[in-house]
Amino acid sequence: MIVLALVAVLVYGLDQLSKFLIISSMDIGEMFPVLGQLLQFHFVKNPGAAFSLASGSTWVFSIVATGVTTFIIWYARRIRSLSWAILFGMLLGGTLGNLTDRFFRDPGFAIGHVIDFIQVWGFPAIFNVADIFIVSSMGLFILLTIRGVGLDGRRHAGAQSAADTGEK
């Protein structure tokens, strides 16, 4: 629980600090090259989900994010694995970062727009620090699941591959 909480606080803090710095130093729509065209800061307000989809349904994302947050907090007591604690901490911190925007930013409560600013050349969306950790947590989820690592940190025998067991 401590690791999960520390990771969540760290992710949430990085996300909110980065958004504060962008808001206080850039105008909406402004672009700032970080690594030429490869990486730019491009300040936008996102009323929807990933890729600005479903921008008229912001309140739905607020409800879903609140449900995810509640589930993680409720479920956290069962986690005994460092990897799973990190995963859930990353997901919780990222979800809370974007949920804070939805609750407390314009145009109003539960319909606020998320601050996005990271633009990578060739990638079709602009995103933020919270998004990075949410997506990374899902990548870690896939790896842990494929490897058969349980919430207790032990690998389940059924998940071992033939290479692990020496079978052909």
Q: Which of 15, 27, 101, 131 is catalytic?
A: 131
DSSP 99-155: HHHHHHSTT-TTSPPEEEEEEETT-S-EE-HHHHHHHHHHHHHHHHHHHTB-TTSPB
Note the Cα 111 to chain centre separation in Å. 19
H or E stretch covering 31 = strand 31-35
Nearest-angstrom CA–CA distance, 10 and 1:
14
Q: Is 164 a catalytic residue?
A: no
* 133 HSE (CA, 13 A, CB side): 26
Query: CA angle at residue 94 from 122 to 62, to 5 degrees?
Result: 100
Nearest-angstrom CA–CA distance, 22 and 19:
5
Q: Which of 27, 101, 116, 152 is catalytic?
A: 116
Cα distances from 63 to residues 13, 67, 105, in angstroms, run 22, 6, 16
Q: Is 27 a catalytic residue?
A: no
Residues annotated as catalytic (active site), given as ranges = 116, 131
